[in-house]
């Protein structure tokens, strides 16, 4: 498995609270991504990063922010969690700027009650 660690693996939080998910990689890959997975929707891109402090929005970015202060860490923050953000979140990494294999972490199951 590629060296990707997501934390926490499971979290239950209350509506309106802030939540931060962490993705840590040991591969020194330049590109990092956050996806969410929901039944019937496959995986949808939330935000991605193409370098330290360089991030951009994906197709479902509303309600989420990200930060990347180091090559190895990519943080996803839900500023005020809502029930619609209950999902499984996956971090992925890739090496090149052209479309190529993305390696995925094990996922974080987030439940907002």
Give the one residue of 60, 90, 110, 112 binding other proteins; rule: CB under 8 A: 90
User: Looking at beta carbons only, is 5 or 80 nearer to other proteins?
Assistant: 5
Indicate whether 41 belongs to the interface with other proteins (CB under 8 A).
Answer: yes
Say if strands 87-94 and 103-104 run parallel, antiparallel, or are unpaired.
antiparallel
Indicate whether 75 belongs to the interface with other proteins (CB under 8 A).
Answer: no
- In angstroms, rounded to a whole number, what is the distance separating the alpha carbons of residues 8 and 72? 16
Number of residues that bind other proteins (CB under 8 A): 29
Indicate whether 34 belongs to the interface with other proteins (CB under 8 A).
Answer: no
Task: Outline where DSSP puts E strands in the chain.
Answer: 4-7, 10-13, 19-25, 31-38, 42-51, 54-57, 64-70, 73-78, 87-94, 103-104, 108-112
Indicate whether 27 belongs to the interface with other proteins (CB under 8 A).
Answer: no
> Which residue, chain included where needed, has tokens 């040991």?
26
Give the one residue of 21, 25, 31, 85 binding other proteins; rule: CB under 8 A: 31
Indicate whether 101 belongs to the interface with other proteins (CB under 8 A).
Answer: yes
- In angstroms, rounded to a whole number, what is the distance separating the alpha carbons of residues 87 and 55? 22
Q: List residues near other proteins by CB under 8 A.
A: 4, 31, 33, 35, 40-45, 48, 50, 58-59, 90, 92, 94, 96-107
């Amino acid at each position: 498995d590629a060296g990707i660690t997501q934390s926490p693996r499971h979290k239950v939080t209350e509506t309106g609270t802030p939540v931060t998910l962490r993705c840590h990689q040991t591969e020194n890959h330049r590109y990092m991504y956050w996806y969410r997975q929901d039944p019937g929707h496959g995986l949808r891109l939330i935000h991605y990063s193409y370098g330290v402090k360089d991030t951009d929005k994906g197709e479902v970015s509303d309600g989420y922010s990200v930060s990347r202060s180091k090559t190895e860490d990519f943080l996803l923050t839900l500023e005020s969690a809502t029930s619609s953000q209950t999902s499984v979140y996956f971090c992925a990494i890739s090496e090149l700027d052209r479309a190529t294999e993305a390696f995925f972490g094990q996922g974080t199951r987030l439940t907002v009650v």
